Structure formats: C-alpha cells, structure tokens
Chain A
C-alpha cells in the first residue's frame, strides 16, 4: 500500500481582511459557570478552570456565580472605571502626538485596560510588577503622574530615563514597576526570582509577571513556569491573550486546540483562564491568586482572554492582516462599556458621571501633555544632556567611557 505524502501544517486565523473571524475557537463559557476553588487547591485540580473561562458579568450586566462573591467595594469599581477611561484617553492623545512627530513611537492598550488595572487594584503597595509594554494601566491606576509618562514618551529634558529608552519602556521603582525591556519574556523569570527573594527573606510581598500570548513561545516563558513551580514562588504569572502578536494569530504561538492556561497545569501551577474584559472577573481572579501567593500556596498562571483592539504599535497597520471590524465582533466586548453598564445597573454610576469623567480625563491629559511639552519633545530636540549618555553603564564611569565622553566633547 502506498503511503500518503506527509502534509505540513501551518495554523491560520479564520478571519483575514475582508473575511470575518469565526470566534468559536475561543472556548467561551457563560458567566458564573466556573467554580471557585479554595486558594490552597492542588494545581492539577484547576485543570477545568484552565480549559474553561471564569466570567462574572453576564449579558444583562449582572455579577453572577461564585467569583462574584466578596466583590470589590463601590469605590474601587469607580476607581477602576476611571483608570480605564484615563488610560484609553491617554492612549488616544499620545497616538495623535506620535502622528505629529512629537515622539517616534507609541503603543496603545485599547481593549485590554481592565486586566492590569483590575489586578493592580487587587494588589498591595510594595508588591512588585514586571510588566510588558502594554500595561500602562498599572501606572495610571495608581495615579503615577501622567506628565512623567509623557516626558519619557517625548524623551525630553525631564525624561526620567534620560532619553535612553524607546517610548513606553517606562521604569518606575517607587511604584514597584520594573524597568521595561524590548526583549520579550525576559521579565518573566525575573519576576519569579523577585518572588523567590521575597520568600528567602521571609517577606510578605509578592510579584506579578506579565506577558503576551505571542511571547509565551519564548523559552524564558517556560523557564519561569518551571522555576515558579519548583520553588513555589509567590508570583502571579499573567498572560494577556489578545489573540495577536503583531500580525501573527495566537494559534501560531501554540494556542490552537488548547488554551494557553493549560500549559500551567503541565508545569504544576494552579492555572486560571479568565474573561479579560470583565473587570469584576479580573479583580476576583487576581485577588484569589494574590491570596494564594501570600499564603505560601505558590504561583498562579492566569490567561486573560481579551482582544488587541488597536494596532500593535504606531508602526503597524492591522488592516493588512485581519478584518477591520474584528473588535466589534469579538464576543467579550469592551471592558469599559461592560463595567460601566454594570455600575449603572447597580446605581453606582450614571451616563452623566461617565461623560463628566471622560471630560475631566481629557482635560487632565491635555494639561499633562502641555506641561510635558514645555520640557521639550523629540521634535523640538530638547532632550537630556548628551553627556548623560555615558552614565549608568556601570555604577562608576570606567576610564574608557570617560575617554569616549571627552572624544564626543561633552
């Protein structure tokens, strides 16, 4: 009998420009369906949660199911919603500034605002965050001055990073916001190491790591999972599955036919898969994972299912690889709209308050931008002193760098 030739397989997204995406691959579950185990659950017993989807807000904007118990108070919800609105407005304004060449580059977090904002509000001061480049909400939710962020983006003479870093690669030690790197996934084992250090010292602080779906294919991702499991590190390992790594569909990162959370089960980590556009689910799952870590039950891997609504970056045009109306058709909707509707239904928010908040945030961002621009932008060429280029390579400047600085005449 003749054997059929082997067939090479390459995953493809169902939707391409001019052709709608079939989102049935998302393995959705109704709100309230997923159980909530105790925080000391053995990792393997979370396998159904890793394959399912934790959701709190249902289609009527009601909070339902076991993950809706012990909800955040009204004030926290208002804070969360306001931070999401600010983040989105901030993103929109900086996008325009990039088009005006005031900065070379920007990356929005459109559609993903609930995830890092919901989590950071479930954490404590002193906890450490190892973000990727799309968690600006971590800073905004904690009221880090927008003007500082903008000075970094504009690389001006008040840039805290002295013009050394690409825009959005912030570093804010005073907020436990680790220095961002362009190299994907490297921060994942670093977060585990920070958590190990906290345990070594008998501290009570925990760490949170952030990665995108695409970067889970990096070797540092699996390395981090192994170390987190081996040493029971007090860390939350967050994967934002926004379905896209630049132009590449999450199936090419290994997400086809399986969830990304499922990989945690194989590594011995408690693993959750959560509706990333459901602020209440984000808060509840983050709180659960933080409690688990803080009580020495080890790490939790969380896959946040969301959608990258905007372009990958200001250098990207998604219309070349995916349908233009994809976000509108994404089944988990818009995190701001969903929380807003829920809060209005609960009587703790109103359309008027929403519009007033939007207005106030716009005014705040405009004022911050004006203040930042008074210190220069990339376009104005008013940047930090060139002499600082040679500083901080080492703690003390070695002789060869002093010579090079002299050669440059600065």
Chain B
C-alpha cells in the first residue's frame, strides 16, 4: 500500500482497471496476446478490452470463434511457443467446453513435461450473480478450479486489486484462472439490491494508479479489522460481509482472500486464532464448494482456538435461478444471522 501513494492515480471502475492492466502489459511485453469472443474490434461485451486492438493491432488483440476449448487450446500452443496469452471466456458459466484443455493440459503441462513446457496463460472469466443473469450468467465455479493441481485461481473485489492482481497473473508463469465478479464491474455491491449502486469513483479502492504496479498472488487482504469474528470471503461477498457486520453490530475481521488457491493461510490462521470464531462466505453452491476447504483448513489448524462451530453462508445447492435471485444470493440478512450465531450463540 505504501507504493500506492507514490503513484499517480485516478478513479477507475473495475472494467477500466482491468483494461489498464492489459494495456500496460501489452505495452511492456511483446509476447502478450489477447483474444476471445468479441474482445477485438468491439472491445468485449463488458468493454474490458475496448481500444486495445486499435492501439496494438489485430495480431496482438483479436476476435476468436465461439469455441472455449479452441481458445484455451490455442493459447496453450502459443504458450509452448513462448507467448504469454491472456484469453477471455465471455462468462465463467461457459468455461465447461474448455475443461479438458484447462484441467488436463494447461494445469499439467509443466508437471508432465518435467518443466520442459509451461502454460503461462491467464484465463479471464466474468463470474458471479446478483445481476439477474439466471442459470448461465451467474455461476461461481471457483471450486472446480481449486480442485485441480497446477492451477492458480484468483478473484479481485475492487479496481485497485483487479489491476494489480491481473498484472501479477499475467506475469506469473503458472496458468491463472482470473475470475472477475461482474456485479462489481461498475461499483461495489453489498447485497442491498433495493438501494442505488454507488460507483467506484466514490470508493477508496476505486482510486487506481495509472501505471504499472502489482498486487502479489497468494496474499490475502485484511479488508476490515474487527476482533470478534473472522470472516473469510472473496469477490462480491466482501461487501456483503462488511454491511452485514455493521448491521449485526459485530466487529469482524473481514479477510478478502484475493488468491483463492493457492491461498494465504497465515493471514487466515492469525485472525481465527485471535477471534476464535469463523464464518466462510461465498456465492457458489454449498456442497463441495470452496468453503468446505476453508472450513477444513480452519478446523485443522485452529481447532483449539475455536469457540464456536465454523459457519458457512453460501448459495443454495440449486442451479442459479432467475426470478428468485435475492432468495438465492447470500445477502446481508442471511449473512448477519450467521455472524450473530457465530458470536453470540456459542
């Protein structure tokens, strides 16, 4: 954070911050190429790559056929050549056709070739719900990636981290699944869907350095410091946690994982050993979700410090519905109840 104050900053949305990261990396490294559906001339359905093709040319930034396995498969081949592809899957809900290329190939290339070949790819995927996206524009598939040895899974929650983490991901030599909560593209969202959205320009983390900087992978952020309770979360749920703690009147340590896996275990353990209480939050469905791994890790490492059962507030074990969006989304009310149970009932 010390570095942040030295750099010239300006307000950016998460979209602008991500675009700035790609712009800077395209400028710095000739081996970086960006492609995916609609990312070229049009600049992406979420505008994340707007202007990049005009600036760097269509051999650096280009449109791809609608073929997720083709996009990732071609990127792996480019990585083997020596390029550093940054590819986009339009929605995380549509990564499934590329599963074989991501799980069987990108994740294992270094291992199976004993380091002879690597896959220095970044696969960007807009994820998450809260936008009336229904079943195939709302999913949070992070647990499918965290289960795969060889992948890094990253999710920012604000423009500053989005840019710094994306630059780190692009520079990292391991394949990185870069999940972007599209609900946070234009402003933070705390789950109060009936209230107007505050833009990033009104949020401290929306002030983003214009030039190059990084946010390290494998490092969590202690987003809010409390002391009564540890909340482990990432993405949109960071803001839900914040408002829920306020509404429940609980002083909570809110840990924004940022790197979901591999993760920053030390920050988690230090907090839980201090508070003795832990709630895990994610939008994704509950059973075998990443929360289960977090609960297991905390249980394993903090058993003698725990004063209450570890709670999980997650999406229900159903496909993501359309009309029942707010009954599905783990909003402030459900989260606050869990916080109260964790702190007061045990």
Interface residues of A (CB under 8 A from B): 128, 130, 160-162, 164-165, 169, 171-173, 178-179, 181-183, 186, 188-201, 207, 219-220, 223-224, 226-227, 230, 392-395, 398-400
Q: Is the CB of B76 within 8 A of A193?
A: yes
Tell me if B230 is interfacial: C-beta within 8 Å of chain A.
no
List, in ascending order, chain A residues with CB within 8 A of B218's CB: 398
Q: Is the CB of A226 within 8 A of B73?
A: no
B172 to chain A, nearest CB (A): 8
B106 to chain A, nearest CB (A): 10
Q: Is the CB of A196 within 8 A of B112?
A: no
B259 to chain A, nearest CB (A): 10
Which A residue's beta carbon lies closest to that of B175?
A394
What are 28 A-B contacts defined by CB distance under 8 Å?
Answer: A128-B80, A164-B114, A165-B112, A169-B112, A171-B113, A181-B112, A186-B101, A186-B104, A186-B105, A188-B73, A189-B74, A190-B77, A193-B81, A193-B85, A194-B77, A194-B81, A196-B77, A198-B81, A200-B59, A220-B101, A227-B74, A392-B110, A392-B111, A392-B114, A393-B110, A393-B150, A395-B110, A395-B118
Residue in B77, B83, B115 whose CB lies within 8 Å of A189:
B77
- Which of B6-14, B63-71, B325-333 lies at the interface with chain A? B63-71
List, in ascending order, chain B residues with CB within 8 A of A197's CB: 33, 77-78, 81-83
Residue in B77, B104, B262 whose CB lies within 8 Å of A192:
B77
Tell me if B229 is interfacial: C-beta within 8 Å of chain A.
no
Q: Given contacts A189-B70, A189-B74, A190-B105, are A161 and B113 in contact (CB under 8 A)?
A: yes
- Chain B stretch 40-92: residues in CB contact (< 8 A) with chain A: 59-60, 65, 67, 69-70, 73-78, 80-83, 85
Beyond A227-B65, A394-B152, 14 additional contacts (C-beta under 8 Å) are A160-B116, A162-B114, A186-B100, A189-B76, A189-B101, A193-B80, A194-B81, A195-B77, A200-B59, A200-B60, A224-B70, A226-B65, A393-B149, A399-B265
Residue in A160, A173, A183 whose CB lies within 8 Å of B105:
A183
List, in ascending order, chain A residues with CB within 8 A of B33's CB: 197, 200
Residue in A161, A164, A178, A223 whose CB lies within 8 Å of B80:
A178
Q: Given contacts A128-B81, A393-B149, are A190 and B74 in contact (CB under 8 A)?
A: yes
Q: Is the CB of B80 within 8 A of A194?
A: yes
List, in ascending order, chain B residues with CB within 8 A of A199's CB: 59
Tell me if B173 is interfacial: C-beta within 8 Å of chain A.
yes
Tell me if B223 is interfacial: C-beta within 8 Å of chain A.
no
**Alpha-carbon distance A183/B69, docked complex (angstroms):** 13
Q: Is the CB of B174 within 8 A of A395?
A: yes
List 10 tightest A-B contacts by C-beta distance, closest first: A193-B77, A189-B73, A193-B74, A197-B81, A190-B77, A179-B113, A194-B77, A223-B70, A171-B113, A398-B262
Q: Is the CB of A392 within 8 A of B73?
A: no
Q: Is the CB of B77 within 8 A of A400?
A: no
Tell me if B15 is interfacial: C-beta within 8 Å of chain A.
no
**Alpha-carbon distance A316/B110, docked complex (angstroms):** 30
List, in ascending order, chain A residues with CB within 8 A of B105's CB: 181, 183, 186, 190
Q: Is the CB of B112 within 8 A of A227?
A: no
List, in ascending order, chain B residues with CB within 8 A of A198's CB: 81
Which B residue's beta carbon lies closest to that of A233?
B74
List, in ascending order, chain B residues with CB within 8 A of A393's CB: 110-111, 149-150
List, in ascending order, chain A residues with CB within 8 A of B173's CB: 395
